[in-house]
């Protein structure tokens, strides 16, 4: 069988909503679970005629494919924005609230105001437009899938920068997640300023 390159059902989902909401924004995050680093969020507006081969939930794509799609999404999107919430914000307001803040920043920094924001998951951030949550949204909506790719790639690139700044933690290998290697490096080197202290209370 020929390999499917266009997941048309994702684009059909958004198209069905554009009859009522002409400008739709997809919103997703990356990095809620790691022990270190900022949490990222992205917002993407695609026009009704925009189709992007291979676009899908970022977790289902290889790193190489995500990198390729990152540039294509930026080129073809009507508008996009990538925002963060810092480690300090995560520790002060908890990861859920910090993620909601990052999502809000991403939408507010768009060059246009959407008629509807589709947010991956089941929690509604406080956005400046009508908002709807979509469970498994990155596998349902093209706009959310595009946002998931931008957020994931941007955060992975940021973790590679942290890996150069803190080579002893091997951030480029685990991206800050709680892997065996990461915990071994924490035991050996202690907790750095880019680690989320509220995620590491046992080590503290």
Q: Which domains does the chain have, with CATH numbers?
A: 8-161 (3.30.420.10)
Give the pairing type, strands 130-134 and 39-45. unpaired
Burial of residue 92 (number of CB atoms within 10 Å: 0-12, 13-18, 19+): exposed
| pLDDT at res. 2 | 58
Contact 103, 125 (CB under 8 A): yes
Per-residue pLDDT of 7-56, as tens digits, reads 999 999 999 999 999 999 999 999 999 999 999 999 999 999 999 999 99
| pLDDT at res. 202 | 80
Mean pLDDT of 162-166: 98
| pLDDT at res. 78 | 97
Per-residue pLDDT of 53-94, as tens digits, reads 999 989 899 999 999 999 999 999 999 999 999 999 999 999
- Joined together, the tokens standing for residue 94 give 């908890």
Helix and strand element counts for the chain (H, E): 7, 5
Instruction: Give the global pTM.
Output: 0.95
The helix (H) or strand (E) run that includes residue 151 is helix 142-165
Neighbours of 12 (CB within 10 A): 11
Confidence of residue 4 (pLDDT cuts 50, 70, 90): confident
| pLDDT at res. 123 | 95
Residues contacting 155, CB < 8 A, separation 6+: 30, 31, 37, 38, 39, 40, 175
Confidence of residue 204 (pLDDT cuts 50, 70, 90): low
Look at the alpha carbons of 11, 141, 26, 57 in this order and tell me if their dihedral is positive or negative. negative
Mean pLDDT estimate for the chain: 96
Residue 1 has pLDDT above 60, yes or no: no
Phi, psi of 97, deg, nearest 5: -65, -35
């Amino acid at each position: 069988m020929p390999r499917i390159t266009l997941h048309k059902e994702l684009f059909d989902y958004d198209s069905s909503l554009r009859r009522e909401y002409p400008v739709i924004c997809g919103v997703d995050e990356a990095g809620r679970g790691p022990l270190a680093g900022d949490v990222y969020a992205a917002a993407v507006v695609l026009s009704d005629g925009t189709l992007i081969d291979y676009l899908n939930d970022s977790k289902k794509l290889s790193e190489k494919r995500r990198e390729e799609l990152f540039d294509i999404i930026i080129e073809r999107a009507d508008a996009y924005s990538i925002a963060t919430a810092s480690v300090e914000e995560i520790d002060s307001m908890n990861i859920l609230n910090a993620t909601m803040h990052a999502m809000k920043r991403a939408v507010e920094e768009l060059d246009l105001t959407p008629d509807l924001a589709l947010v991956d998951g089941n929690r509604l951030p406080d956005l400046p437009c009508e908002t709807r949550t979509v469970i498994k949204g990155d596998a349902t909506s093209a706009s959310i899938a595009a946002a998931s790719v931008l957020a994931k790639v941007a955060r992975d690139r940021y973790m590679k920068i942290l890996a150069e700044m803190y080579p002893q933690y091997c951030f480029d290998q685990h991206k800050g997640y709680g892997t065996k290697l990461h915990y071994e490096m924490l035991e050996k080197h202690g907790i750095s300023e880019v680690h989320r202290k509220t995620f590491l209370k046992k080590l503290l």
